[in-house]
Amino acid sequence: MLFTDITPEFGESFKLFLIGGLDYKPTHVNHCLTWLNRLVYIAVDSEVLRCNQVEDVKYEKKKPLQLRHISREELKWIMEHPLPDSLPELARRMFIFSSFCGLAYVDMQRLYPYHIEQTSDGHKYIRINRTKTNVESFIPLHPVAEQIISLYNMEDDTKPIFPTKNRDVICREIHQIGFMAGIKENLSTHQSRHCFGTQLLSAGVPIESISKMLGHTNISTTQVYARVTDQKISEDMDKLIERRKLTTKSKQR
């Protein structure tokens, strides 16, 4: 079609086609609209068109981010069921490791022994810049995580700690682990990271500290984890009931 045929009406029709005809999700619709705008702006810069006729076509609103994480019971099941084959067992251990340190899979791929440091009082921690944001993560090393990496390379600083595989391969293995654990939703590598964040929140760790450990660029990203779990709600209610009991007893006295 000619550039001169690109009108505001065409832009709206194109958007409706992406939504209704191709059943694209909001993110994909916005991606296509972005590339359409880029193409038209090239025509404007080249003086083929006087203006961008589709620049006022509104982008689709994205649904609120839904963080999927597993419960303590599900994580406990995974921890208690080692696998006989090396590849599934590697995937299982990396998932558990991430659940206790919050590193994304790409960051575990580039985790080297020199990223593990030690304080003067002997406590170990991970200090690494996240691949996605280039923001430093500072993570105290949980005993479970420390036990896992002790099984792999902790001596040679030129090689990563984990003998990592292609992400798609590990994803398939983790999905299978989730199936064996009876987890309804597809288990993914990133759910371990969300598990770490929600468990910290449930334990009462300040959100500023969680943000630093997860390597977020903005604390508003971390605040998504403030969508408390059912378990935390239950715990809060138990505390409230306990306080009321104590108040009632003191009044009776």
pLDDT digits (tens, 9 = 90+) for 12-29: 999 999 999 898 988 899
pLDDT of residue 180: 93
User: What are the beta bridge partners of residue 116?
Assistant: 126
- Using CA atoms, how far apart are residues 34 and 16, in angstroms rounded to an integer? 15
pLDDT of residue 116: 95
* Residues 61-78: b if buried by 16+ CB within 10 A, e if exposed: eeeeeeeebbeeebbebb
Query: What pLDDT digit, counting tens, does each position of 121-138 carry?
Result: 888 999 999 888 888 888
pLDDT of residue 237: 65
pLDDT of residue 210: 84
Low-confidence ranges of the chain (pLDDT < 70): 63-69, 225-237, 239-240, 249-253
For 72-231, CATH number?
A: 1.10.443.10
Residue 106, both tokens: 């790409």
pLDDT of residue 225: 67
pLDDT of residue 105: 92
Q: Are 141 and 125 in contact (CB under 8 A)?
A: yes
